[in-house]
Amino acid sequence: MNWDWEIFFQDPGGQHTTYLEWLMSAWGWTLSVSLLALLLALLMGFMIGTLRTLPKHPGWVLFGTGWTELFRNIPLLLQIFLWYHVIPALVPPLKELSGFVLVVLALGFFTSARISEQVYSGIRALPKGQFYAAQALGMTTWQSYRYVILPRAGRIILPPLVNEMMSIVKNSSVAFAVSVSELTLFALQVQEETARGVEVYLAVTGLYVVSALAINLLMGQIERRVQIPGLVLPGATGGGH
């Protein structure tokens, strides 16, 4: 096969000096979408997952369950199109938002439903006596979750949570559908311009792998730091990586 990696040092004739510079810019957009969506997903996922377990609050439980089922069961690509084409038409102020922000919202809410399910399962896996013990010590419901329930549940769900963090980088590729300049859109455009699809797609694939492995290594370090000595976390033997 006739490889030609020198294409990355050619001038694409646009705002970027070389295709390599364009590739790095696209990687930056991919990481930006992924990290912002992840922050939103973690915030909403932990909140919704917690609401689903609140004792004596059926309204919040119903809301949390509805949120999870709604965003988990609609394909991500369809959610991207809904946020980009439909929701701004129904809510006019959202027309002012850029495609980048709309993709972050779509990807963040989609992932929040998956994280919510993990948080819910982690809390339900804890012995009920822990909540009652916290209440017996005079803690409010908020304090019980803040200081007892969520720290314990967080350790349980950390391995599958790593998978979600890695998946959100891969799922960010759907942003190309609404012309956000991330890696997949870069690959499509450069392949059309240069007809060097093998080199382009290999380079893009490599950056996706590097991004996912970096998250894997970082979370592996965090997992080891938060593990309670003598306690083996469910899935901590490698199933979550």
Query: Domain range holding 216?
Result: 5-226
Answer yes or no: is 189 within a domain.
yes
At 236 the pLDDT is 44
At 4 the pLDDT is 79
Q: How confident is the model at residue 239 (pLDDT cuts 50, 70, 90)?
A: very low
Answer yes or no: is 241 within a domain.
no
At 241 the pLDDT is 37
Answer yes or no: is 194 within a domain.
yes
In whole angstroms, give the CA distance from residue 153 to residue 113. Answer: 17
Answer yes or no: is 236 within a domain.
no
At 1 the pLDDT is 63
The count of structural domains within the chain is 1
Residue 145's CATH number: 1.10.3720.10
> Per residue in 76-86, pLDDT tens?
999 999 999 99
Answer yes or no: is 178 within a domain.
yes
Average pLDDT over residues 51-59: 86
Answer yes or no: is 235 within a domain.
no
Answer yes or no: is 239 within a domain.
no
Does pLDDT of 105 surpass 80?
Answer: yes
Answer yes or no: is 205 within a domain.
yes
At 101 the pLDDT is 92
Average pLDDT over residues 24-31: 93
